[in-house]
């Protein structure tokens, strides 16, 4: 995997891989023992880690098909394996961009431009992205972000979150993995034993755009498993085929979606 660029406020830092639109690390020089986002140091498996963006669809669509056009779309969309371009950088932020091209338009015939800014503040990682419709027809999308929060396997059952919709103690984490879609009010508090507290918030203005939270992990026999994913999403599986629930962006318009991850370093 390519070298990482670091944005820092002096103590809090984020590692970013611009060409993959990926936050690959989030931590503090005050807490060398806590990597908030999972990093596959042992396996070097760079498929499940960090914080990737899923667009135009989060998760799968039914039969892998966008039904309105009868076109195939892979799980988690079209941009996670594409090459992004860095367009701006400061000491505390990095901005990357991706836009449609001739090849992609054959798969997904809608013109768009994505700009994602990763920013670091004291104890906070900011993930801000703009979806712009650059075409002449409505752009449908049901995106999500996919943070892998680092959690020791033995502590998964003891993780506490501020919702009654999901109970970490209800799972046998050794032999089963959750894949639950629950309501997201815009704030999730995650208490990781031996590490600290994470506050995940959507702070988009003027209105929140993500109303669901996908919770997922791996069983203990998987090569990479010491994480729990708490994933803010527009809808969830097959969301792109939900005409009323998905985002439908008018030509020339854009939406901005902002999430903050605060850690108690």
Answer CATH for 3-264 from 3.30.1360.40, 2.70.98.10, 3.40.366.10, 3.20.20.80: 2.70.98.10
pLDDT at 33: 96
* CA pair distance 147, 229, nearest whole angstrom: 6
pLDDT at 5: 84
CA atoms within 13 Å, Cβ hemisphere of 85: 7
Predicted confidence (pLDDT) per residue in 143-173, tens digit: 999 999 999 999 999 999 999 999 999 999 9
pLDDT at 47: 82
- Spatial neighbors of 226 by CB under 8 A, at least 6 apart, are 38, 150, 151, 152, 153
pLDDT at 3: 60
pLDDT at 2: 62
Q: Point out the residues of the chain with pLDDT beneath 50.
A: none
Predicted confidence (pLDDT) per residue in 165-197, tens digit: 999 999 999 999 999 999 999 999 999 999 999
* CA pair distance 135, 79, nearest whole angstrom: 18
């Amino acid at each position: 995997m390519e070298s990482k660029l670091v944005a820092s406020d002096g103590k809090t830092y984020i590692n970013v891989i611009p060409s993959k639109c990926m936050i690959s690390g989030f931590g503090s020089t005050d807490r060398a023992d806590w990597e908030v986002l999972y990093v596959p140091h042992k396996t070097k498996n760079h498929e499940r880690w960090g914080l990737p963006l899923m667009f135009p669809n989060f998760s799968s669509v039914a039969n892998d098909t966008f039904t309105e056009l009868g076109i195939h779309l892979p799980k988690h969309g079209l941009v996670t394996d594409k090459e992004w371009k860095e367009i701006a950088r400061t000491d505390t932020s990095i901005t990357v961009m991706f836009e449609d091209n001739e090849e992609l338009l054959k798969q997904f015939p809608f013109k768009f431009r994505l700009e994602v800014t990763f920013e670091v503040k004291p104890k906070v990682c900011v993930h801000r992205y703009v979806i712009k419709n650059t075409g002449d027809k409505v752009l449908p999308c049901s995106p999500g972000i996919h943070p892998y929060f680092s959690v020791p396997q033995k502590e998964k059952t003891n993780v506490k979150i501020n919702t009654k919709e999901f109970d970490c103690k209800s799972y046998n984490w050794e032999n089963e993995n959750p894949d639950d879609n629950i309501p997201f009010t815009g704030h999730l508090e995650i208490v990781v034993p031996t590490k600290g507290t994470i506050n995940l918030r959507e702070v988009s203005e003027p209105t929140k755009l993500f109303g669901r939270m996908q919770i997922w992990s791996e069983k203990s026999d998987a090569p990479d498993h010491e994480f729990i994913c708490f994933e803010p999403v527009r809808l969830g599986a097959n969301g792109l085929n939900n005409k009323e629930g998905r985002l439908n962006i008018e030509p020339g318009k854009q939406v901005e979606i902002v999430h903050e991850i605060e850690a108690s370093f």
